[in-house]
Structure 1
Amino acid sequence: MDSLQKRNNALNANPMVNTVATDNHITVRGSDWYFAVTAVMVVSTFVFMGLSFRKPRSQRLFHYITAAITLVAAIAYFSMGANLGWTAIRVEFERSDPKVAGLMRQIFYVRYIDWFVTTPLLLLDLLLTCGLPTPTIVYTILINEIMIITGLVGALVKSSYKWGYYVFGCVAFFFVAYTVVFEGRAHARALGNDILKTYTICGVWTIGLWFLYPIAWGVSEGGNVIASDSEAVFYGILDLLAKPVFGALLIWGHRNIDLARLGLHVNEPTETGMPGGEKRSANAHSNTNTTAANDTTATTV
């Protein structure tokens, strides 16, 4: 343990004292794991941004959204690895297992800040892919935010009322899952087999993983069954699969899909100095001169 602490000094720099002390918290191993996930998220962000340069600027929307997801996750995991962004909450269920002993459990609220930002972006990636109407996308994202907020509030409640928030969150999740699985696929089917295939793979992947998050919550923040290090591994694996791996599947699926097929129209930059801007400006100038000459001829006649 001493050798581990020499390599990772985060827990010494940011000790286990917030408003109160807690014995039910991550160890150096948990901190190391969080930093490892941070590294994967950072590398994924650079990869997604790098891949965007293989497409015209008007076709990079999904690269930008996906890179933003992993960037926000990287910041959150760095915070958790540094033992920041948490508070101590009294557990509802006291356990005899030494790994989860103690009255106070460490709750990382920064995790929920991450999800509050990244899960709407994940849904945006999916629901734009299938061409859902904007009002449906906005409403689905709103329900998703209810899911995240109720999860956070439930984690911060020490009494059995936390499970009431858990139920609200699960109901919200089922609404989101219905929209993705049924409404989304119906719209994707109308856009072509390649879009349907990409959407189905990414949608099933996402919803399948999201079904595991309530289980992780139930055995960690909710039921105090597993240790904080185990919680870190459980959530970390889920987030790695739900963000970098999801992003790779999505970007690969979009490699030959034009945004116009999805009802998305992004203009290429036309200002002088931008890539291709001088050529377009010259063409525009030429067209203006031609129009002016035609007008003069018409007037002369």
Structure 2
Amino acid sequence: MAPLAQDWTYAEWSAVYNALSFGIAGMGSATIFFWLQLPNVTKNYRTALTITGIVTLIATYHYFRIFNSWVAAFNVGLGVNGAYEVTVSGTPFNDAYRYVDWLLTVPLLLVELILVMKLPAKETVCLAWTLGIASAVMVALGYPGEIQDDLSVRWFWWACAMVPFVYVVGTLVVGLGAATAKQPEGVVDLVSAARYLTVVSWLTYPFVYIVKNIGLAGSTATMYEQIGYSAADVTAKAVFGVLIWAIANAKSRLEEEGKLRA
């Protein structure tokens, strides 16, 4: 991992500190909510909702690790002029936790969407494997460029990661269109919202990735990178998870009313 820049202001450090804290709070509270809701959905959707909670639990753990690493990487205190000053402590900031998190959670995010749609068993297995593997490859290809300062290397790995990225996004937008149309009335809009929220939140990641490729550097680039990834994570996991719960809840209600085959 590349050493942190030396030119940090207290405002920049604090902005990242608060973004990471927000990630912990958002993911942690979402986990509690999803698992408390398990008894309120039928058995057909409990696996999807359980996975939703696992995703946010894994993210909560990694945000704790990122947060602690961030705090340890700096010395913060009052300077001679009475204002807070921030200096690098020399302890490395381990941002690799993000990629470990994504490697575990990104495939699961797609699996929970596929499960809650309740597609035919063969189609469910096929989509879960193909999208899960493609998303894991996407994350693995992105990491080598993330830890490099050489722009040509960063662009190369970014382009490589975009290949499976485009495949996954294309499947969400086009490939699942017909399956979405077959969802029961009152659920179609929720499933569509979940698909497109995934696409929109995922589009944030490649743009944040190239922050350092387009001229930004030092503490400013790192600040935007950390805040951007944190906002995208909360949207893609906690907010997306709420939509998964809403779909499971709506379908469970229809099953109980006899309007949907169990």
TM-score by length of 2: 0.76
1:151 is aligned to 2:145: no
Q: Which segment drifts farther, 156-165 or 239-248?
A: 156-165
Q: Which residue of 1 aligns with 2:21?
A: 35
Contact 1:195 1:257 in 2 (8 A): yes
Match of 2:96 among 102, 106, 109: 109
Return the letter of the residue paired with 2:113.
L
Unmatched tracts of structure 1, length 5 or more: 1-17, 88-104, 266-301
What is the RMSD computed on CA atoms of the aligned residues?
A: 3.1
CA deviation profile, 1:191-212 (whole Å, cap 9, x unmatched):
4344432221100111011112
Distance 1:78 1:220 in 2: 25
Q: Which residue of 1 aligns with 2:110?
A: 123
Return the letter of the residue paired with 2:143.
L
Q: Which residue of 1 aligns with 2:229?
A: 235
Contact 2:24 2:64 in 1 (8 A): yes
Distance 1:177 1:143 in 2: 11
| Higher Rg of the two aligned structures | 1
The percentage of aligned residue pairs carrying the same residue is 22
Contact 1:45 1:68 in 2 (8 A): yes
Distance 2:133 2:239 in 1: 25
1:77 is aligned to 2:63: yes
Contact 1:72 1:118 in 2 (8 A): yes
Change (3 A) 1:163 1:32: same
Contact 1:162 1:222 in 2 (8 A): no
Q: Which residue of 2 aligns with 1:249?
A: 243
Return the letter of the residue paired with 1:234.
G
Q: Which segment drifts farther, 60-69 or 228-237?
A: 228-237
How far is the alpha carbon of 1:222 from its aligned partner? 7.8
CA deviation profile, 1:199-256 (whole Å, cap 9, x unmatched):
2110011101111210011004886444323322211111111111111122112213
Contact 1:24 1:227 in 2 (8 A): no
1:140 is aligned to 2:131: yes
Would you tell me which structure has more helix in proportion to its own residues? Answer: 2
Contact 1:24 1:228 in 2 (8 A): no
Aligned positions, number: 228
Q: Which segment drifts farther, 166-175 or 53-62?
A: 53-62
SS in 2 for 1:157: coil
Q: Which residue of 1 aligns with 2:79?
A: none
Change (3 A) 1:171 1:223: farther
Distance 1:122 1:193 in 2: 24
SS in 1 for 2:40: coil
Contact 2:146 2:154 in 1 (8 A): yes
Change (3 A) 1:21 1:201: closer
Return the letter of the residue paired with 2:227.
V
SS in 2 for 1:257: helix
Change (3 A) 1:206 1:72: same
Unmatched tracts of structure 2, length 5 or more: 74-91, 256-260
Return the letter of the residue paired with 1:127.
I
Distance 2:164 2:4 in 1: 34
Distance 1:246 1:32 in 2: 22
